[in-house]
């Protein structure tokens, strides 16, 4: 099945609202002709309304970097899916930095996934093992367990809207990337085959799976030529207009018709 590639820039805690708007104004025309690739930027919460307004009518879509599963209430510092809904098409959940610094648990990732799908938004669910787990040979069972827990109770018909991002923690922001072959192996055996076990092969083949971790223009093709890798979740290189546009161009070329 042909899956539309999806490249998302996770800006993390970078760019003020003014900087974010200036960035997307420069970026958007460079991506206009890449309609064979879904193009997404994920600014901070604070910049979302301004970025969404600046991109109005542009094919470049907006993601939030997190959300709370409750609609409103006494949850100091949190922002609900409903509050984000006017501005975003995607919401990233389960990022390893949220798991590490904000105590994001598998259970909460699952609650968030359910709330996001119920609001007709698309979750990008990040999974991935630590260096210690990788070195102990625990990668495959750990990633399988993360995928399974995140998707508990999700209706099969909602699954094609789900994006999974496999991001080995040891490759994030370190310049140490997984080889294309290794990323393909883990995505195939720990993500796609797990999806097939949970939802059946047809649905598993419809779900898009990204690789993330030190993706750059120089290594992008290595990932985009793998059959089970449908795009990338990009940190550092997404903060540079030329680099991000280059990543999208490589995806379009490698995955295009
Ligand atoms: P880098 O591309 O900076 O390694 O970050 C990856 C990431 O965490 C994207 O979510």
Which is nearest to 7 in space by CA: 183, 235, 240?
235
pLDDT score for 32: 81
Rg of the chain over all Cα atoms, to the nearest angstrom: 17
Instruction: Considering the candidates 129, 167, 184, 222, report the single residue annotated as catalytic.
Output: 167
Which is nearest to 40 in space by CA: 11, 2, 83, 70?
11
Low-confidence stretches of the chain (pLDDT beneath 70): 1
Q: Burial of 120 by CB count in 10 Å (0-12 exposed, 13-18 middle, 19+ buried)?
A: exposed
What pTM, to 2 d.p., does this model score?
0.97
CB 69 within 8 A of CB 82: no
Would residue 95 show up in a list of annotated catalytic residues for this protein? Answer: yes
**Which atom of ligand 1 approaches the CA of 96 most closely?**
8
What architecture is domain 6-18+40-236? Answer: Alpha-Beta Barrel (3.20)
Would residue 129 show up in a list of annotated catalytic residues for this protein? Answer: no
How does strand 61-64 pair with strand 90-93? parallel
Report the residue among 164, 220, 233, 240 best suited for mutation to probe ligand 1: largest number of ligand atoms under 8 A from its CB: 233
108: CA distance to ligand 1 center in Å? 21
* Residue 163, CA distances (Å) to 23, 84, 91, 131 in order: 25, 18, 10, 23
Which residue bears the tokens 């059959």? 227
Which is nearest to 40 in space by CA: 250, 208, 244?
244
Residue 70 DSSP one-character state? S
Report the residue among 40, 42, 97, 212 best suited for mutation to probe ligand 1: largest number of ligand atoms under 8 A from its CB: 212
pLDDT score for 15: 98
CB 17 within 8 A of CB 46: yes
Question: What are the b/e assignments for 219-242, b being 16+ CB within 10 Å?
Answer: bbebbbebebbbbbbbbbbbbbbe
Residue 178 corresponds to which tokens in the numbers above? Answer: 């997984």
CB 43 within 8 A of CB 53: no
Residue whose Cα lies nearest atom 5 of ligand 1: it is: 235
State the helix-helix crossing angle for 217-224 and 241-255, rounded to 10 degrees. 20
Summarised one tens digit per residue, pLDDT across range 191-218 is: 999 999 999 999 999 999 999 999 999 9
212: CA distance to ligand 1 center in Å? 6
Question: Domain spans of the chain?
Answer: 6-18+40-236
Report the residue among 95, 99, 236, 247 best suited for mutation to probe ligand 1: largest number of ligand atoms under 8 A from its CB: 236
Q: Burial of 130 by CB count in 10 Å (0-12 exposed, 13-18 middle, 19+ buried)?
A: middle
**Which atom of ligand 1 approaches the CA of 165 most closely?**
10
């Amino acid at each position: 099945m042909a899956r539309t590639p999806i490249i998302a820039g996770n800006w993390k805690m970078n760019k003020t609202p003014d900087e974010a708007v200036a960035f997307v104004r420069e970026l958007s025309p460079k991506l206009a002709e890449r309609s064979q690739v879904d193009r997404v930027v994920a600014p901070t919460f604070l910049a979302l309304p301004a970025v969404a307004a600046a991109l109005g009518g542009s094919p470049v879509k907006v993601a939030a970097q997190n959300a709370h599963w409750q609609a409103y209430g006494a949850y100091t510092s949190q922002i609900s899916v409903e509050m984000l809904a006017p501005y975003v098409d995607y919401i990233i959940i389960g990022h390893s930095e949220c798991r590490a610094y904000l105590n994001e648990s598998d259970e909460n990732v699952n609650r968030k996934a359910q709330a996001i799908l119920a609001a007709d938004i698309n979750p990008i669910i990040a999974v991935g093992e630590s260096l210690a787990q990788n070195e102990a040979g625990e990668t495959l069972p750990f990633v399988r367990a993360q995928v399974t827990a995140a998707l508990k109770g999700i209706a099969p018909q909602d699954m094609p809207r789900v994006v999974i991002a496999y991001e080995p923690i040891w490759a994030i922001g370190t310049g140490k990337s997984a080889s294309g072959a290794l990323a393909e192996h883990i995505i195939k055996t720990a993500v796609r085959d797990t999806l097939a076990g949970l939802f059946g092969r047809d649905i598993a083949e419809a779900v898009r799976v990204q690789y993330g971790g030190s993706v750059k223009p120089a290594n992008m093709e290595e990932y985009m030529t793998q059959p089970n890798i449908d795009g990338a979740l990009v940190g550092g290189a997404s903060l540079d207009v030329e680099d991000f546009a280059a990543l999208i161009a490589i995806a379009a070329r490698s995955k295009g018709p």
